[in-house]
Amino acid sequence: QYKNMQFSNSLVQWYLQNKRDLPWRDTVNPYFIWLSEIMLQQTRVAQGLPYFLSFTQAFPTVFDLANAEEEQILKLWQGLGYYSRARNLHETAKYIANELNGIFPNNYSDLLKLKGVGEYTAAAIASFSYNEPVAVLDGNVYRVLSRYFNLDTDISDFKSKKIFQSLVQEVLLKEKPALFNQAIMEFGALQCVPKNPDCQNCIFSSSCGALQHKKVGLLPVKSKKTKVTNKYFNYLVLQDEADQYVVQKREGKGIWENLYEFPLLETAFLMESKEVENQLGTMDFFGQRSREIYVLSESIINHKLSHQHLFIRFYLLRFEAKLPDSKTLTEIMKLPFPIVIHNFLLSDYFNSH
């Protein structure tokens, strides 16, 4: 018990001296805390911070977010990835604004019922906004605990969650839950990092189990590797006589739902660009054939998502007539796109044609 208290108090002392100054730390407003936690799922602080600032500026309250168009939300989210987070965010904002009069649930178990809010996010909001003594458990916390207490329980195993959850709940400073939760996460983010942590200059250099047993690099144990599939995307940039282009909204479940893209020819394997061009030459688009076809970049763009690796090329197809629903580049740039297409729209390849 004494060792646990020492661990927790040392963490908090360390945090007060080393913490980063982040905008969502100066508030107990559950709206801002919820927003930051959803944004920081799967995302590093440095990447999430500008998005947090642009969201809070565009939508200062949960009512503003609830009343926004999904397209505007996705556009602001563009480049952050895992877009279902943004769609859930919008749905939950509408629910809180319309059903709960804009007032967030004030406890862990009711927060858990919100769409897109899991155990970790609910614990974060409950402790930061309402000082409820529930401990957070995220990747950082798993790492700190498994190293400090020298636990080689496989963290990808479902049963291990219970073990870690009860351990972190045990070391939680019940009278300072917000401070403790911030501290242990920050410690994992800044000091007890995944690769090559600076163990010599660590407050736990004499008490850390993994360091004493020379197992720092081996912990936490995580066996399951995500299975990755390869996909081959050929995007067709259809340009009509008015120098306008055709884009489409992605429907259905799957990656990039409700984002825009160029018409897509997906192939089962990687084809030579000449082969793709020949195939496109035989195809009709809106009842006409293109008079000119060429690949816009010989090099393949490899875009990595958590479960898919996309191999992407863009082809320009020019037409002599007006294409239905074609848009100017200015109109197109206002729409939300997957970041890989957005970057292409800004690239020299595209703008030199």
Q: How far is CA 176 from CA 38, 181, 192, in A?
A: 23, 9, 22
Max CA distance (Å), the chain: 80
Q: What is the mean pLDDT of the chain?
A: 95
Where helices occur in 235-324 by DSSP H, the ranges are 273-281
pLDDT over threshold 70, residue 98: yes
pLDDT at 253: 83
Residue 24 corresponds to which amino acid? W
Q: What is the distance between the alpha carbons of residues 149 and 88, in angstroms, rounded to a whole number?
A: 36
Query: Rounded to two decimals, what is the model's pTM?
Result: 0.91
pLDDT digits (tens, 9 = 90+) for 199-258: 999 999 999 999 999 999 999 999 887 889 999 999 999 999 999 999 999 998 888 999
Residues 6+ apart with CB under 8 A from 327: 244, 245, 246, 247
Please state the rounded mean pLDDT for residues 63-85. 97
Please state the rounded mean pLDDT for residues 109-118. 97
pLDDT over threshold 70, residue 166: yes
pLDDT at 353: 63
183: part of which helix (H) or strand (E)? helix 177-190
pLDDT digits (tens, 9 = 90+) for 6-26: 999 999 999 999 999 999 998
pLDDT over threshold 90, residue 349: no
Cα angle: 237, vertex 306, 296; to 5 degrees: 20
63: part of which helix (H) or strand (E)? helix 62-67
Please state the rounded mean pLDDT for residues 288-296. 92
pLDDT over threshold 90, residue 53: yes
Q: What is the distance between the alpha carbons of residues 256 and 280, in angstroms, rounded to a whole number?
A: 25
Residue 248 DSSP SS3: strand
Whether 339 and 79 have beta carbons less than 8 Å apart is answered as yes
Q: Is 272 a catalytic residue?
A: no
What percent of the chain lies above the pLDDT cut of 70? 100
Whether 207 and 200 have beta carbons less than 8 Å apart is answered as no
Q: How confident is the model at residue 139 (pLDDT cuts 50, 70, 90)?
A: very high
pLDDT at 225: 79
pLDDT over threshold 90, residue 267: yes
Catalytic residue (one of 37, 132, 186, 261): 37
pLDDT at 170: 96
Output the six-digit token pair for 69.
Answer: 């168009």
Whether 85 and 309 have beta carbons less than 8 Å apart is answered as no
Q: Which residues pair with 317 in a beta bridge?
A: 238, 293
pLDDT over threshold 90, residue 1: no
pLDDT at 212: 96
pLDDT digits (tens, 9 = 90+) for 302-331: 999 989 999 999 999 999 999 999 999 999
Exposure string of 85-95, with b = 16+ CB inside 10 Å and e = fewer, is bbbebbebbbe
More confident call, 293 vs 352: 293
DSSP annotation of 285 reads B
Please state the rounded mean pLDDT for residues 42-58. 96
Q: Which residue, 344, 150, 85, is CA-closest to 236?
A: 344
Whether 34 and 127 have beta carbons less than 8 Å apart is answered as no
